[in-house]
Amino acid sequence: MSDEALKLSGQSLVLGSQHALAAVGGIIAAPLIIATGMGLSASQTSYLISAALVISGLATVLQIVRVGPLGSGLLSLQGTSFAFVGPLIFLYHGLAETHSSDAALGILFGSALVCAGVMIVLTVFVKTLRQLITSNVSGLTLVLIGGSLMETTARNLFETYTRTAAPGPLLWVCGITLVALLALSLAPQPRLRMVAIIVSLVAGTFAASFFGWVDAASLNFSNALFLPSLMPFGFGIDWMVVAILFPIFLVSATESIGDLTATNALSGHPYGDASYWRRLRGGLMGDAVNSGLASVFGTFPNTTFSQNNGLIRLSGESRPTIGLYAAGILCLLGLMPVLAEAVQMIPEPVINTTTFILFGLVAWAGLQVFKSNARSWRCGVIFLGGLAGGYGVAGNVETWTVLPGLLIQILAFPVSTGAFIGLMLEALLPGRARATNSH
């Protein structure tokens, strides 16, 4: 290997490490939040975290290394999607009433696999999908996701506060976590914003250790390497679960369209030509296949991560090889069981404080997506109608005893209900052609 090739390889390794660092906080946080919300055991949580890292690494490789129509061929990292946090927690608790914990997880993953399979087919119609899931619908859904999760997280924090005999340490820990996250999230330097999640979790955990909340001595460094298993929680399909998850898959696909379009532009490729649509279609198919892969190995749906676009802009380097180094690092981190154990040492108030802000940012991002193209009364009707309808129907549907029980369960979740109402309003309100063009 020539000196120039060695230099380029070393540069790719350094840049890939930065991409992995920017993504690892989000990849770890999503399954940790879901597992905490579900009340899963330590062993289940460890598996989900480690599997999320390994599958994110493998999924990134599939996204970058194009195989036929699969993959974008761009420097695009994959990771566990935050869009599914609320729906998965909601669905798990419903399933856990009649199933064991493992069986409930198996049904969630089996149903997600069905959704991923349908999304693989729909990627053929990417242009139609982009017209149907407009900024009105995707913005509305993000606001519903963020808002519902902020409400749940705030309730958890309040319950923790009321149960605490000495609230002083709790306020200190939550305050330090909050300050660290806000300071880094609002920092002018992109590098600081990219590590905001992981640094705030570490800062909060260190603060909690001063009050004796963290026992680092319990870490077991002798554990063997982690290897993901096929269907570790069994397999099942529940059509009610499919009906609630599928709208989230659609909205997640529209987020990926935005991420992939940005990566395409930052990589110096033109917009709108045949190659662009081929990369976009391959990227969405990669998303769907990778979510199916995640389901098969017992972890949560994948999506493209937008953090890497900031690093591409910062470094000016968009070589796909950089992403392969990042993927390798993610896999190596996932193969270390002690990392999953360390993550579980993060106290619940630290997680809840971090997630409250994160979900607030999700809701804010949704509002910005909506506002970016809200140019008529029609957009406002779709957004407000879906928002009011989602919460209104979910809050009252249990009193509508004339409806079938399965339909009541589906409508009880405001995110999927609001997204469906938004889709119907988008399709039925007059002026659709003009609105579609504006999007």
Provide the token pair at 358: 């994160």
The answer to whether residue 5 is domain-embedded is no
What are the distances in angstroms from CA 26 to CA 82, 196, 229, 379? 8, 10, 23, 31
Least confident of 20-29, 63-72, 304-313, 370-379: 304-313
Query: What is the percentage of the chain residues whose pLDDT exceeds 70?
Result: 93
Beta strands in 285-387 (DSSP E): 302-304
pLDDT score of 435 more than 70: no
What are the distances in angstroms from CA 193 to CA 32, 124, 146, 284, 313? 21, 35, 19, 26, 14
The answer to whether residue 162 is domain-embedded is yes
pLDDT score of 177 more than 80: yes
Burial class, 151, CB count within 10 angstroms (exposed 0-12 / middle 13-18 / buried 19+): middle
Predicted pLDDT of residue 231:
93
Provide the pLDDT confidence category of residue 198 given band limits of 50, 70 and 90. confident
Beta strands in 254-411 (DSSP E): 302-304
Provide the pLDDT confidence category of residue 161 given band limits of 50, 70 and 90. confident
Range from 88-102, 248-262, 346-360 that averages highest in pLDDT:
88-102
The answer to whether residue 2 is domain-embedded is no
CA–CA separation, 228 and 239 (whole Å): 26
CA–CA separation, 158 and 177 (whole Å): 16
The answer to whether residue 426 is domain-embedded is yes
Average pLDDT of the chain, as a whole number: 84
The answer to whether residue 1 is domain-embedded is no
Which pLDDT tens digit goes with each residue over 307-364? 677 778 767 788 888 989 999 999 998 998 888 888 878 888 888 888 888 778 778 8
Average pLDDT over residues 165-175: 87
Provide the pLDDT confidence category of residue 434 given band limits of 50, 70 and 90. very low
The answer to whether residue 4 is domain-embedded is no
Predicted pLDDT of residue 341:
80
Show the domain range for 173.
Answer: 10-438
Q: State how many domains the chain has.
A: 1
Which has the closest alpha carbon to 115: 231, 294, 240, 243?
243
CA–CA separation, 151 and 360 (whole Å): 10
The number of angstroms, rounded, from the C-alpha of 263 to the middle of its chain's C-alpha atoms is: 18
CA–CA separation, 244 and 31 (whole Å): 19
CA–CA separation, 127 and 30 (whole Å): 30
**Contact call for residues 335 and 226 (beta carbons, < 8 A):** yes
Which pLDDT tens digit goes with each residue over 203-248? 999 998 888 887 766 666 666 788 899 999 999 999 989 988 988 8
Predicted pLDDT of residue 220:
67
